[in-house]
Structures are given as C-alpha cells and as structure tokens.
Chains A and B, each alone.
Chain A
Amino acid sequence: MSDPARALSKVLGRGSAHEGAHHWRVQRLTALGLLLLAPWFVISLALLPQLDFATVHVWASSLINAALLSLLVVSLCWHSQLGVQVVIEDYVRGAARGVALVASSFLHVLLAAVSLLAIVRIALGAAH
C-alpha cells in the first residue's frame, strides 16, 4: 500500500474496476431517461398526420422537440456504448478486445456528434 492512489481507491471503495459502480449507475440512469424519452419520440411520430419531410421538419425544429431529441440522442448513444462495451468485454478475447472497445467508443461518439449537429441544423433552419 505504498502507492497513494491505491490507498485512496481502497478508502473510496472503488473496487477492482477503479471506478466503482459508475458504469452500472450510468447504464441505469440512461435507461431511466430512455424510459421517458423513447416513448415520447415514438408517440410524437405516431401523432404526426404524415411522416413526410415538411411535417417532420416542422415538428423537429420546435425548441422543445429539438431539446428532447438531443437528450434522446445523448442517452441512446451513451446507453448503447455502455451496453456494447460489456458485450465486447464478455465475448472478445486478446488484442481484438482493445481494438473493438476503442472502435465502439469512437463510433458512438461520432454518431452522437453527427446526430446532435443534425438536430441543431434542423432547429436553426427553421429560424430563417
């Protein structure tokens, strides 16, 4: 116990993963968020008279819908990243595991960034 970081983590009770229950907690927290946001998204789309460009664009460009869509994207990508990470850790062995974990992280962040910018673009387009 000469390493102060180790001593600290023992005091903090973070276990062998060194981050305690953070992964577990965020997975549940995003699940709870999605339990509200996913039904909101599905019901909103179902209530639209049509799913053509004009109707959906007007719907998505309102401030509240754009905000909730952003939350949906962040929660989805975060929850998906945590889940895929566990699947990779369970089933992928050797060097491929690290590669898969990094690839999954990058891909999820990329998807989140692209989707969020798309939402911003839709919302700003409506202001012209």
Chain B
Amino acid sequence: MARRPLSPHVFIYRFAYTMALSILHRATGLALSLGLLLFSAWLVALATGPACYDAFARFASSWPVKLIIAAGVISFCYHLSNGIRHLFWDLGVGLERAEARRSARIVVVVVVLLSAALLWIFFGQPGQGAAP
C-alpha cells in the first residue's frame, strides 16, 4: 500500500482533557459491548431457573467479577452522560470550545456522583450482592 499521510495527526496536538473524554467514549462503549455478554447471561440464568440464577448470582458476587461489574457500572454512567453530550452536538448545540470544556467538566462530575450512587445501591447494602 502507498504510504499516504495519516490524518488526524493525534500526537502533534497539545493534550486537552476533552481528548481524553473523546477516546473514553469509545473505550467505555467497547467495554459495555463486552458487558452485554454478562447481561445476556443474566437473562438466560433467569429464564433457566432458580438453581442457574443462584449460580450466576454467586459468580457475580465473587470479587474479580464484582470489580468487572463495578467497571461496567462506571462505564455505563460515563457512556450515558457523554452520549447526551454527543446528542447535543448532533443538534449543533455546545460545539464552541468553551462550551465543550464546560460540558466535559459537567460530565465528569455527573459520572462520579451517578457511579457512586449506583455502586452504593447495588453493592453497598446488605443482601444485595447479586446485581447484574
């Protein structure tokens, strides 16, 4: 293949945190696609019966899987919040640099609060360890 110039030249830009948010949208989207496997497994376990569901609940409450689910919850909060930002951009709203930076900061704050709330609801209370 002919060596053509590549665009965009990612590494010549001065780093801005909006860039990190941009690539994180993709990364969390990909993570959530993998999380879809867990979601489907949960539905199948629920359709199969109590024994299968309990086995899934035990699997989901083991520490490594709990960490994966926690990462999934944070990814979900991020992709959802930043997705709203993207939908506004699609309407032509908030595209100015200052606006994009402000909405980026809002997304970060919302993600922290929302993730904390969801993790507390599904992991923080006794007897609720089996959330998908």
A interface residues (Cβ-Cβ under 8 A, vs B): 28, 31-32, 34-35, 38-39, 42, 45-46, 50-54, 56-57, 60, 69, 73, 76-77, 80, 83-84, 87, 111, 114-115, 117-119, 121-122, 125
Q: Is the interface of B mostly helix, strand, loop or mixed?
A: helix
Give 6 new A-B contacts, CB below 8 A, not counting A73-B40, A114-B43, A118-B40: A28-B87, A28-B90, A53-B54, A115-B43, A118-B44, A118-B47
**CB under 8 Å from chain A, chain B span 44-97:** 44, 46-47, 49-50, 53-54, 57, 76, 80, 83-84, 86-87, 90
| CB contact under 8 A between A53 and B128, given known A28-B90, A77-B36, A80-B32 | no
A88 to B118, CA, bound (A): 31
B127 interfacial contact with A, CB 8 Å: yes
Q: Are A84 and B46 neighbours in the complex by a CB distance under 8 Å?
A: no
Q: Are B46 and A57 neighbours in the complex by a CB distance under 8 Å?
A: yes
Contact flags B87-131 to A (C-beta < 8 A → 1, else 0): 100100000000000000000000000000010011000011011
Q: Are A111 and B83 neighbours in the complex by a CB distance under 8 Å?
A: no
Q: Are B76 and A38 neighbours in the complex by a CB distance under 8 Å?
A: yes
Within the complex, the shortest CB–CB distance from B132 to chain A, in Å, comes to 8
- By the criterion of a CB under 8 Å from any partner CB, how many residues of chain B are at the interface? 33
Q: Are A35 and B80 neighbours in the complex by a CB distance under 8 Å?
A: yes
Partner of B83, one of A31, A87, A117: A31
A111 to B118, CA, bound (A): 25
Partner of B84, one of A35, A45, A80, A118: A35
Within the complex, the shortest CB–CB distance from B38 to chain A, in Å, comes to 11
Q: Are B36 and A51 neighbours in the complex by a CB distance under 8 Å?
A: no
A87 to B25, CA, bound (A): 11
Q: Are A31 and B87 neighbours in the complex by a CB distance under 8 Å?
A: yes
**Smallest CB gap from B29: residue in A:** A83
What residues on B are CB-neighbors of A87 within 8 Å? 26, 29-30
Q: Are A84 and B40 neighbours in the complex by a CB distance under 8 Å?
A: no
Q: Are B80 and A115 neighbours in the complex by a CB distance under 8 Å?
A: no
A38 to B84, CA, bound (A): 13
A122 to B80, CA, bound (A): 28
